[in-house]
Amino acid sequence: MGNNQIDTARDSEAVRVEEGGAALNNGGLPESSDMYNITVRNCDLYYGDFQALKSVSIDIEEREVTALIGPSGCGKSTFIKTLNRMNDLVEGCRITGEILIGGRDIYAKSTDVTLLRKNAGMVFQKPNPFPMSIYDNIAFAPRTFGIKKKIELDVIVESSLKHAGLWLEVKDRLKKNAMGLSGGQQQRLCIARALAADPKILLMDEPTSALDPISTGRIEELINELKTEYTIVIVTHNMQQATRISDKTAFFLLGEIIEYGTTESIFSMPKDKRTENYITGRFG
């Protein structure tokens, strides 16, 4: 693909963005579970005439947590949405450059966008459970992709809720409406929903910003547990959170990656003065 322009409107048919996924077994993407590293080269993104991302290049390793930090409006959320092509749904959005998962071009015409979004699951800033039972929230994606037997769905629901640290709290009220859960429980439910179809990549856009400190702590513990199985990319404004949970950190400013490296080096020995100014609170 190189620097050829990608018209992200070309596949903007109404595809439901389900937050989770199974192995990408077709659509030109890798089958191997060991190939979920992310490579981005010279990515530029435009909303009409406005350039939101400027020549972004980054290598995101599998089974690590990569934190994206930077002031509001710097391109973090825009960037994370390029990784499962959610920006396809934005009219007038166009991208140039190269975005690869496991060495495969996710913007190639052969890519099955539904499977991509299914596999690279998204957890949003505010919990967004479906207005249905806890059980049906978790079973939604497996049912969508063909799993109908109750015994199989039961196993997936229990496993996903256990992975999200929520099973013991809700196992006796699976048929109750998910909207009755607390905010922290709803967010863990959304994570469980993302896990229900066995994704390899989790994209998290400020998943704890609307939560209290106790719920935030539980989500952070969960992220630390999940990174042994998943590639996790998280947008956060909480720099203490980045130091607690991430292996690598990228500092975004005005649509560019200013600095990227191990979290320890970014926070203890930043190479760029702008990074130092941001993490010490001098701006942002």
pLDDT digits (tens, 9 = 90+) for 49-74: 999 999 999 999 999 999 999 999 99
pLDDT given at position 26: 43
Q: Is residue 20 part of a domain?
A: no
Cα gap 173→153, rounded to integer Å:
16
Domain that holds residue 255: 63-86+111-279
CATH at residue 132: 3.40.50.300
Separation in Å, CA 71 to CA 43, 87, 206, 251, 282: 20, 21, 13, 9, 12
Average pLDDT over residues 228-243: 94
What does the DSSP assignment read for 138-204?
HHHHHHHTT---HHHHHHHHHHHHHHTT-HHHHTT-TTSBGGGS-HHHHHHHHHHHHHTT--SEEEE
- Report residue 59: phi and psi, to 5°: -115, 120
Tell me what pLDDT residue 114 has.
86
Model confidence pLDDT, tens digit, residues 172-219: 999 999 999 999 999 999 999 999 978 889 999 999 998 899 989 999
What φ, ψ does residue 248 adopt, rounded to 5°?
-125, 155
Domain presence at residue 284: no
The whole-number average pLDDT for the span 236-240 is: 93
Q: Please, which residues bridge with residue 120 across strands?
A: 201
CA distance readout (Å), 209 to 41, 164, 180, 186, 226? 30, 18, 20, 13, 19
- pLDDT for position 74: 95
Is 104 among the domain residues? no
| Mean pLDDT of the region 115-129 | 90
Provide mean pLDDT across the span 251-270: 97
Report the C-alpha gap between 127 and 212 in whole angstroms.
Answer: 13
Three-class DSSP category at 32: coil
Question: Tokens 């196992």 identify what position?
Answer: 171
Residue 214 included in any domain: yes
Q: Is 221 domain-assigned?
A: yes
Residue 249 has pLDDT above 70, yes or no: yes
Would 240 be classed as within a structural domain? yes
- Residues with Cβ within 8 Å of residue 71, at least 6 apart in sequence: 253, 278, 283, 284
Candidates 152, 128, 153, 127; CA nearest to 139 is 153
d(CA 59, CA 14): 30
In a domain, 41, yes or no: no
The CA–CA distances, whole Å, from 129 to 79, 110, 161, 182, 189 equal 24, 31, 14, 11, 7
Nearest to 127 by CA among 159, 163, 164, 176: 164
- Here the tokens at position 48 are 């009409």
Per-residue pLDDT of 3-47, as tens digits, reads 443 433 333 333 333 333 333 344 444 554 446 899 999 999 999
Considering the domain boundaries, does residue 25 fall inside one? Answer: no
Q: Provide the number of structural domains found in the chain.
A: 1
CA 41 to CA 51: how far, in whole Å? 16
How far apart, in whole angstroms, are the C-alpha atoms of residue 69 and residue 204?
Answer: 12
Q: Is the pLDDT of residue 1 over 70?
A: no
